[in-house]
Structure 1
Amino acid sequence: MNKRRVVITGLGVVAPNGTSVSDFNNNIQKGKSGIHYIEKLKELNFSCQIAGKPLYKESYLNNYFNNIQLKGLNASGMEYGVIAGMDAWKDAGLSINNSQTPLWDTGVIFGTGILGVDKFREAIYKVDEGKVRRLGSTSVTQTMASGISAFLGGMLGCGNIVTTNSSACSTGTEAILMAYNHIAQGNAEIILAGSTSDSGPYVWGGFDAMRILPYKYNDNPTKASRPMSATASGFVPGSGAGALVIESLESAQKRGATIYAEILGGHVNSGGQRNGGSMTAPNSQAVQYCIRKAITNANINSNDIDAINGHLTATTMDSIEIQNWSEALGRKGKDFPYINSLKSLVGHCLAASGSIESVAAVLQLKEGYVFGNINSEDLHPAIEALIPRDQIPLKTINKPLTIIAKASFGFGDVNACVIFKKY
């Protein structure tokens, strides 16, 4: 069966350095970091007291939630996901379905790693105090993983697939590919895809306990996230949400929609925690296989890729990731594509990272630029031995791009790679 062409017609983002697509776009081009010091983390004796957390006034939520929905709302991931999702829907020129009939060809695939941690903590205290009846009627919907997709599906009146996926750091990229496949196979016309991640110490604490977060930059937060750097000392925790309206080309053309980019294909796999892979480390063989399969599925050659938006978390795995890209593409030295990591600007947004970074990748295609990698002045020697400095720009360069590869590699040894093309 021939695959239908699939495009992106709407974007939404809630990132540490921008809570609208326009602000986010401007700030990634300017190299503006969204990582800052958080006093609460110091009070709780965290070693790493900085994070990438979206900032907005509480009153901002009135633009997205009614008074009933806001009552008892205590789930940052729900907030981020709804804001990004509704913004993407509006950006695509789509209206909210106010009829009693669901939109049978429209769905939501919105992933998360964990949802409503603060609400869950609140519920635990009330239960332990014997105040079960004071939990409120929204405790379940704010803490169940599928709460975000169900919430968005209900707000929009979707009647096609409405589900939440969860694959650690590869969640957002996987959600995009799930939507792409569903539409390419003719099972839907429009799907709102993305992912979200809660903020706060109860999400970030486990990583601090693992000692994989940087602790020497509490007084200089914007210098802490250092992907591909010789002085990288761990990833900065982040949070937020990214959303993309994914649509069949026929539907987009029929509506006269603005098209940001085309999705050519991709691949999702697992390393099976074999051959060096584990709950926290990737199987390089599987990473390379995922990239190669994505290229084959997209029906392109590895030489067609102009730029890579990597996973690149600012850990010891960065040089291994570059090596995997080089071997999977069969390209090195000056022949290697441009590569960048959004994590230098926003930290590692966990389950939301793939979707937020995909929004950044699509913006680069649409507007013709490669954003810079801050804090990578001192390239890791193993990376510098593979690719020249010019392919890892420190500042944004204007460059017409045709194809970008975006990949995410998550805890549990899971991988996802999507191929975007300029439309």
Structure 2
Amino acid sequence: MSRRLVITGLGATTPLGGDVPSTWDAALAGTAGAKTLQQDWVEKYQLPVTFAAEVAVEPAEVLARPETRRMDRSTQLGMVAAREAWADAGLQGAELDGERVGVSFATGIGGVWTLLDSWDTLREKGPRRVLPMTVPMLMPNGASGAISLELGAKAGARTAVSACASGVEALIMALDMLSTGDVDVVMAGGTEAAIHPLPLAAFANMQALSRRNDDPGAASRPYDVDRDGFVMGEGAGALVIETEEHARARGATIYAELAGGAVTSDAHHITAPDPDGLGATRALRRALASASASVQDVTHVNAHATSTPLGDVPEYTAMKAVFGNHLDEVCVSATKSQTGHLLGAAGAVESVLTVKALAERKAPVTINLDNQDPEIPLDVVAGSARDLDPGEQIGICSSFGFGGHNAVAAFRTV
């Protein structure tokens, strides 16, 4: 890395809050975002899982009505987060060269609501009733395209679609864009809005979702011996990343440095992770190498930690292989215990939380860890949030997805 890249703006809309301050406060307090779903389709389709983690603030409360009619819910959430991040970076109304501004915004599924609602319209009412905007609303790059229009970003509008690794992979794509020297600023992040009966039924039938219908708030239990699956969530996270030179020149506030990142693939199974965590191990090592960091520099990890019986152990195996005895000095937050699993937005929101942890020197809490699995002897931040030491340090955000995708981002304090 010849150019130092820094984070100057943060945005989010999550099950914990409608912006970064409310989400961060809730993450420190240990708030459970999952609740019983009230939609009539839950009973209509007799879904085996009746809860999820919906966003705390509906996008229709933030966006203008004409915008919501032209955007799928996933794009709406992405736009809310991106606008907050842009304003937080002090760039709202700024005169920038659009040819040096890029977008890297991810999703795991994209416009599933638009796709399936439009199919229902076609079957029930015929082709003339299908909205002309259906394709740009359902396409996975819808959020990236809409945000690039919003910002006048002409250096590229890229979209990572790598399942649950997408959000972190978008940051690494942004890192690549900025490293060329042709780009000064990138809006990076991820969004997802897939709390729909079809994905819920499909995930439930593959035994991926928790079945704790009687206690949704306690359903996501990373590292707990009684974990039985993840909780579906929705939301978006956004980070403004720019070269340090550009940020300093305009007097921007800097939260942290995006020091490095890496992407690998397991080539093992379409859904199951490599049981030995070999792909995740390579991603962790390469991310640290790209950040010119040693394992001793790492103090905090926001882990993927989905709360599935099979997924949590290989991630620990990878961390142990990379950090060795130093793993005892690394505090681990598993924030999906609070937010649920935001799929393609998970890594983006968790990166926002990692950056906040480094900037505030405070690691968010992991809830629902009543009986830690002895096969996963991590130092988990449980019970209450934990102070981080002063001084320069590295925070890691890891995301892994169906298809064997692994993405790791490394952030450094400033």
Select which of 277, 285, 290 maps to 1:292.
Answer: 285
Give the letter for the 2:45 counterpart: L
User: After the TM superposition, which of the residue ranges 243-252 and 287-296 deviates more from structure 2?
Assistant: 287-296
How many angstroms does 1:182 deviate by? 1.3
Q: Kindly report the root-mean-square deviation, in angstroms, between the aligned alpha carbons of the 2 structures.
A: 1.9
How many angstroms does 1:140 deviate by? 1.4
1:36 is matched with 35
How many angstroms does 1:130 deviate by? 5.6
How many angstroms does 1:56 deviate by? 2.3
How many angstroms does 1:136 deviate by? 2.3
How many angstroms does 1:338 deviate by? 0.5
How many angstroms does 1:84 deviate by? 0.4
2:353 is equivalent to residue 360 of structure 1: yes
How many angstroms does 1:185 deviate by? 2.6
1:127 is matched with 122
Aligned runs of 1:79-90 on 2, under 5 Å? 79-90=76-87
Select which of 183, 200, 206 maps to 1:204.
Answer: 200
Q: Is the 8 A contact 2:4 2:244 kept in 1?
A: yes
Where 2:18 maps in the other structure, the secondary structure is coil
2:406 is matched with 415
CA displacement, residues 343-384 of structure 1 (integer Å, 9 cap, x when unaligned): 010111111100010001011011011111111121001113
Select which of 265, 272, 288 maps to 2:267.
Answer: 272
2:218 is equivalent to residue 228 of structure 1: no
How many angstroms does 1:10 deviate by? 0.3
2:325 is equivalent to residue 338 of structure 1: no
2:14 is matched with 15
Gaps of 5+ in 2: none
2:50 is matched with 49
1:351 is matched with 344
Distance in 2, matches of 1:362 and 1:97, equals 24
CA displacement, residues 302-330 of structure 1 (integer Å, 9 cap, x when unaligned): 11100111101111221221121011122
Evaluate the alpha carbon distance shift between residue 129 and residue 392 of structure 1 in structure 2; reply closer, same or farther with a 3 A threshold. closer
Aligned runs of 1:214-225 on 2, under 5 Å? 214-215=210-211, 217-225=212-220
User: After the TM superposition, which of the residue ranges 314-323 and 353-362 deviates more from structure 2?
Assistant: 314-323
Distance in 2, matches of 1:259 and 1:332, equals 28
Q: Is the 8 A contact 1:97 1:156 kept in 2?
A: no
Gaps of 5+ in 1: none
Distance in 1, matches of 2:103 and 2:192, equals 17
1:397 is matched with 386
Where 2:62 maps in the other structure, the secondary structure is helix
User: After the TM superposition, which of the residue ranges 244-253 and 113-122 deviates more from structure 2?
Assistant: 113-122
Distance in 2, matches of 1:235 and 1:165, equals 22
Q: Is the 8 A contact 2:113 2:194 kept in 1?
A: no
Where 1:378 maps in the other structure, the secondary structure is coil
Evaluate the alpha carbon distance shift between residue 324 and residue 70 of structure 1 in structure 2; reply closer, same or farther with a 3 A threshold. closer
Aligned runs of 1:158-169 on 2, under 5 Å? 158-169=153-164
Report the TM-score, using the length of structure 1 for normalisation.
0.92
Q: Would you identify which runs of 4 or more consecutive aligned residues in structure 1 move more than 6 Å?
A: none
Q: Is the 8 A contact 2:13 2:57 kept in 1?
A: no
CA displacement, residues 3-44 of structure 1 (integer Å, 9 cap, x when unaligned): 200000000001111111110110001001111111333442
How many angstroms does 1:125 deviate by? 2.3
Where 1:234 maps in the other structure, the secondary structure is coil
Distance in 2, matches of 1:162 and 1:103, equals 12
Q: Is the 8 A contact 2:59 2:77 kept in 1?
A: no
2:273 is matched with 281
CA displacement, residues 267-295 of structure 1 (integer Å, 9 cap, x when unaligned): 1011122xxx4433236211111111111
Give the count of matched residue pairs.
407
Q: Is the 8 A contact 1:326 1:336 kept in 2?
A: no
Identity of aligned residues (%): 31
Distance in 1, matches of 2:68 and 2:306, equals 34
Q: Is the 8 A contact 1:266 1:416 kept in 2?
A: yes
2:312 is equivalent to residue 318 of structure 1: yes
Q: Is the 8 A contact 2:265 2:406 kept in 1?
A: yes
Distance in 2, matches of 1:403 and 1:214, equals 32
Distance in 2, matches of 1:345 and 1:58, equals 20
